[in-house]
Amino acid sequence: MAIIFDEIVDRNTPEDIKHKKIDGIDDLIPMWVADMDFKSPPEVIESLVEQAKRGVYGYPEADASYDNAVVDWFKRRHGWEVDPKTILKLPGVVLGVSLAVRALTNENDSVMIFEPLYGPIAKTIKGNKRNLVISDLVRRDSRYEIDFDDMENKIRENDVKMLILCNPHNPVGRVWTKEELIKIGKICLKNQIIIVSDEIHADFVYSGHKHIPIASLSDELKKITVTCTSATKSFNIAGIQAANIVIADDSMRRAVDKMALTTGAYGLNIMGLVATRAAYTYGDKWMDELRAYLEGNIELVKSRLAGTKLKVTDIEGTYLMWIDASKLFIEDPAKYFLENAHIKFSEGNFFSKKAGQFIRMNIACPRSVVNEALDKMLKLPAIR
């Protein structure tokens, strides 16, 4: 049987960021921007084609059919009960994080993150004139952990008002366990810290691990949490920009909603609406097959890079592999692979100033492409 994810989809269009030409390289393998080289599920494509063919693109409103699709997905996939009234619809997750920062903290307040972390989050905090407090994740063997002592010390020293959590965590691939989330939650409740949980990668969790929305753990945690979700990563529709931000507490939700109106960045676009609804209604089987396929890609990378100087971080969630290249003793490993193997990885310092010796490899592409990239990497004497 043909595996749909093996298909090479032509992404060579002028609008495509990930596949754009870099440094004039013709045979570039793009493994950087976090989207996938797979077609979306057929029902998602059909929903967009149908909408496009209507020829009318007026202002949309999400009705009960949209809310039910979202809420049912959360319940089915993550065992999370969400009241549809508590969902704000926005054009993006980073926007949701930024609006929460602006609406729920004041200028100069301290906001904490765990680094390395997807770069735009820190930029959002600093850009909004908040004091960025970083608690570095600790790498033990090939797995990252939260340093809870450091977290608590920095909360006390800086009077932290908000924690931005990323679960599953981009780029270190952790899916935080129930025990870890309870510990994070206890610390935040004790110190009256609002949690903003970026759960955009929630659907990419591999065997032996389970995504737990922190807001689902207790009523107390639900009241202090803003959960940022989206179907865009899961179904490869990031270009249509849509997010669902769940805020159970009425006054917090009103404040974020008001901030959205104040900035003018509000609501869903029509394509985002129909695609999200179709994805969450029909996407289960496709998503399960995709996850199995990605798990195969991950195993392939791990086995083929075993015994080299590249140290692959354990990956429990996301399709992004965080690789330690420090044993290569090369100043800029991402540049090295671009120039010598024609592979574009994300640079480690996009995620932390201290991570310049890391590269992030996006394996959400056909297995033949992963193999081709590995062939090129393994030919380099420096990694042996």
Ligand X SMILES: Cc1ncc(COP(=O)(O)O)c(C=O)c1O
- Which residues lie near ligand X (CB under 6 A)? 34, 92-94, 118, 166, 170, 198, 200, 230, 232, 238, 243
- Map tokens 């129930």 to a residue: 178
For 61, other C-beta atoms within 10 Å of its C-beta total 10
Q: Which is nearer to ligand X, 216 or 362 (CB)?
A: 362
CB of 115 to ligand X, least distance (A): 13
- Six token digits for residue 219: 């009523």
| Nearest to ligand X of 203, 341 (CB atom) | 203
Q: How far is the CB of 384 from ligand X (least distance, A)?
A: 32
CB 357 within 8 A of CB 116: no
- Which is closer to ligand X, CB of 232 or CB of 357? 232
Q: How far is the CB of 100 from ligand X (least distance, A)?
A: 13
User: Among 12, 222, 241, 195, which residue's Cα sits nearest to residue 97?
Assistant: 195
Structure tokens at 361: 């490899």
Query: In terms of C-beta density within 10 A (0-12 exposed, 13-18 middle, 19 or more buried), how is residue 371 classed?
Result: middle
- Cβ closer to ligand X: 74 or 118? 118
**Residue number with CB closer to ligand X (117 or 377):** 117
Residue 44 carries which side chain, given as an amino acid letter? V
Q: How far is the CB of 33 from ligand X (least distance, A)?
A: 8
Residue 271 in tokens: 């394509």
CB-based contacts of 217, cutoff 8 Å, min separation 6:
178, 181, 182, 185
In Å, how far are 61, 68, 263, 273 from 256, measured between CA atoms? 19, 22, 11, 20
Instruction: Identify which of residues 221 and 242 has a Cβ nearer to ligand X in the complex.
Output: 242
**Closest approach of ligand X to the CB of residue 379, in Å:** 30
- CB nearest ligand X: which residue? 92
Q: For the chain, where are the alpha helices, taking DSSP H only? A: 42-54, 64-78, 93-104, 120-127, 148-158, 178-190, 219-224, 250-263, 270-282, 284-305, 333-341, 367-378
Q: Which is nearer to ligand X, 91 or 185 (CB)?
A: 91
b/e 225-236 (16+ beta carbons within 10 angstroms → b): bbbbbbbbbbbb
Shortest reach from residue 244's CB to ligand X, in Å: 10
Smaller CB distance to ligand X: residue 328 or 360?
A: 360
CB of 336 vs ligand X, minimal distance in Å: 23
